[in-house]
């Protein structure tokens, strides 16, 4: 479990929250604190007060994969294959093992055709796919995705969800503005003004949002 | 006012895209897979990328604006206020429209991505352009902002508006649908006839059509009305 207690950071104030294993979606209005919350979960930033524990460990003591909402901010290297290999190289994995892991994740994600390209010439969606591969290649305990789906088509989103589930990452926390995507997750958090105003399985949370624009249109249309 | 694509070609290594067709006044939607060349096509249409072959003729188009996929690429001001002024705009109406008055001295790149997108789109949409190209305009916007953008675009009565998007549920009422497949731009025609030809249609729209529900257009209201008519 991810246990959040007494968390304070900028406009974030969460007294108590438990997130079960699986894919958790975070939704809410622009500026509600979703990115700040995700950064705290990944350990990129530390709370001013309180703590987040992932199976009893702080995020910085946990292997975390992170995909930034600004695709260009994920990029460290010029070549796609080197970008994907970066986390394994930083952790001093043997070269042969790194190469085979890069090929394996590229094949799983159907991006083999991108390996010899430079990051600069990729489209926005392709940059996100490479960032996801770079995050997944190290098999993190927690994968944190900040609006990764805003540059992907629907088919790619579904494909990526399958890849993430097949990689058996224990915890995935993703922020999205596509309510259909949020509806497919295992757990849902609705963040407003820095506070978690709703949490639970998607059916339960969306039931409370039925009168709002956050309710999935496919559910409203009942198709 | 027309934008003619005369076998305009974008290419890079083994990849290429050929675009033929004429875009008339109204709202056009262009869809395609990741990496299919939507952004390259938008850049060619804007005149920021020279075609590798063919040509583009802007007939009667005297002003063009492109909103790039990533709002951060547009930022030139050190503060939100400076950014707004850099577009030659009066800040106050923009701030009240997007509710960012209390962040006027913040650095644009310190805003959340959704807030930056709101600021950027408000600056783009504050003026009228004959040709308005919007590359992924809905990315990072919450549901309320997506709806507001759709309303704004629906009110744009003049000019050619072209949306390049992966959005699944929020659209303005569009006049024409195009899609990129196998390195080529295909004209799927005018609404509502284009809907049955639209291969990249979001799953929800495909389901509504396959279940026999009559769709006039693809705005949120149209989709809900289609359900209520059953």
Q: Quote the ipTM score.
A: 0.80
Helices (H) and strands (E) in chain A, counts: 8, 9
> B173 and A207 in contact (C-beta within 8 Å)?
no
- End of a domain among A139, A159, A175? A139
Mean pLDDT of B90-101: 87
B168·A156 Cβ contact <8 A: no
Give backbone dihedrals phi and psi of A78, rounded to 5 degrees, phi first: -85, -30
| CATH of residue B224 | 3.40.50.300
Q: Which domain holds residue A14?
A: 1-63+141-223
What burial class does residue A188 get, using C-beta atoms within 10 Å of its C-beta: 0-12 exposed, 13-18 middle, 19+ buried?
buried
> Are A178 and B168 a contacting pair at CB < 8 A?
yes
Using the Cβ of A92 and the Cβ atoms of chain B, whether some distance falls under 8 Å is answered with no
Closest CA to B176 of B150, B149, B198: B198
- Is some CB atom of chain A closer than 8 A to the CB atom of B12? yes
pLDDT (tens digit per residue) in A194-207 = 999 999 999 999 99
Assess whether B141 and B208 both reside in one domain: yes
pLDDT digits (tens, 9 = 90+) for A57-97: 999 999 999 998 887 887 889 999 999 999 999 989 999 99
Between positions 15 and 74 of B, the ones with CB within 8 A of A are: 31-35, 37-40, 69-70, 72
Instruction: Determine how many CB atoms are found less than 10 A away from the CB of residue B175.
Output: 18
Predicted local confidence at residue A220, as pLDDT? 77
Of B89, B105, B127, which closes a domain?
A: B127
Chains A and B form CB pairs within 8 A to the count of 122
Q: Is the pLDDT of residue B134 over 80?
A: yes
- Are A45 and A86 members of one domain? no
Task: Look at residue B31 and give its three-state secondary structure.
Answer: strand
Contact B2/B59 with Cβ under 8 angstroms? yes
Query: Which residues 146-165 of chain A have a CB within 8 Å of chain B?
Result: 147, 150-156
The closest of A90, A37, A24, A99 to A63, measured between CA atoms, is A90
Average pLDDT in the B165-174 region?
91
Across B138-147, average pLDDT = 91
Is A159 a domain residue? Answer: yes
Given this model, what pLDDT does residue A174 score?
Answer: 96
User: Does residue B136 share a domain with residue B51?
Assistant: yes
Residue B46 in tokens: 């804007």
Give mean pLDDT, residues B48-58: 96
Mean pLDDT of all residues belonging to chain B: 92
| CA angle (B41, B49, A78) in 5-degree steps | 90
Residue identified by tokens 């995700």 is A38
Q: Which residues pair with B64 in a beta bridge?
A: B131
Give chain B's domain count: 2
A5 Rama class: left (phi>0) / alpha (psi -120 to 50) / beta: beta
At A119-155, the pLDDT tens digits run 988 988 999 999 999 999 989 999 999 988 888 888 8
User: What domain range is B153 assigned to?
Assistant: 2-63+128-228
What are the C-alpha distances in Å from B80 to residues A27, B104, B110, B115? 25, 5, 10, 10
Are A217 and B211 an interchain contact pair (Cβ–Cβ within 8 Å)? no
CB of A46 less than 8 A from some CB of B = no
**Domains held by chain A: number:** 2
**Predicted confidence band of residue A223 (pLDDT cuts 50, 70, 90):** low
């Amino acid at each position: 479990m991810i246990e959040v207690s007494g968390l304070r950071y900028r406009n974030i104030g969460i007294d108590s929250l438990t997130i079960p294993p699986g894919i958790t979606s975070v939704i809410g209005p622009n500026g509600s604190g979703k990115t700040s919350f995700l950064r705290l979960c990944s350990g990129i930033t530390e709370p001013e007060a309180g703590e987040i524990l992932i199976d009893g460990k702080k995020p910085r003591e946990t292997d975390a994969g992170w995909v930034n909402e600004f695709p260009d901010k994920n990029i460290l290297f010029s070549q796609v294959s080197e970008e994907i290999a970066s986390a394994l190289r930083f952790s001093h994995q043997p070269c042969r093992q790194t190469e085979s892991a890069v090929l394996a994740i590229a094949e799983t994600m159907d991006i083999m055709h991108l390996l010899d390209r430079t990051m600069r010439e990729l489209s926005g969606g392709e940059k996100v796919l490479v960032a996801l591969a770079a995050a997944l290649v190290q098999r993190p305990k927690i994968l944190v995705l900040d609006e990764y789906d805003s540059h992907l088509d629907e088919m790619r989103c579904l494909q990526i969800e399958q890849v993430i589930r097949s990689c058996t990452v224990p915890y995935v926390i993703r922020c999205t503005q596509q309510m259909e995507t949020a509806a497919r997750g295992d757990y849902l958090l609705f963040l407003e003004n820095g506070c978690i105003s709703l949490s639970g399985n998607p059916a339960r949370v969306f039931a409370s949002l039925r009168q709002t624009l956050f309710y999935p249109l496919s559910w409203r249309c009942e198709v | 006012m027309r934008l003619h694509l005369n076998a305009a070609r974008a290419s890079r290594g083994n990849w290429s895209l050929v675009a033929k067709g004429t875009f008339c006044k109204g709202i056009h939607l262009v869809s395609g897979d990741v990496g299919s060349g939507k952004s390259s096509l938008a850049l060619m249409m804007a005149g920021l990328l020279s075609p590798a072959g063919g040509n583009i003729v802007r007939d009667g188009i005297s002003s063009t604006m492109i909103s790039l996929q990533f709002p951060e690429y547009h930022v030139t001001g050190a503060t939100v206020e400076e950014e707004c002024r850099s577009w030659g705009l009066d800040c106050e109406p923009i701030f009240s429209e997007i509710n960012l008055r209390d962040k006027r001295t913040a650095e644009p790149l310190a805003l959340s991505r959704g807030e930056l997108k709101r600021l950027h789109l408000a600056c783009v949409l504050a003026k009228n352009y004959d040709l308005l190209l919007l590359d992924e305009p809905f990315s990072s916007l919450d549901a309320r902002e997506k709806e507001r953008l759709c309303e704004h675009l629906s009110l744009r009565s003049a000019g050619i508006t072209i949306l390049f998007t992966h959005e699944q549920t929020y659209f303005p009422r569009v006049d024409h649908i195009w899609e990129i497949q196998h390195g080529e731009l295909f004209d799927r025609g005018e609404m509502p006839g284009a809907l049955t030809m639209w291969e990249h249609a979001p799953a929800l729209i495909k389901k509504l059509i396959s279940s026999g529900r009559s769709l006039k257009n693809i705005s949120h209201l149209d989709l809900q009305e289609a359900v209520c008519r059953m």
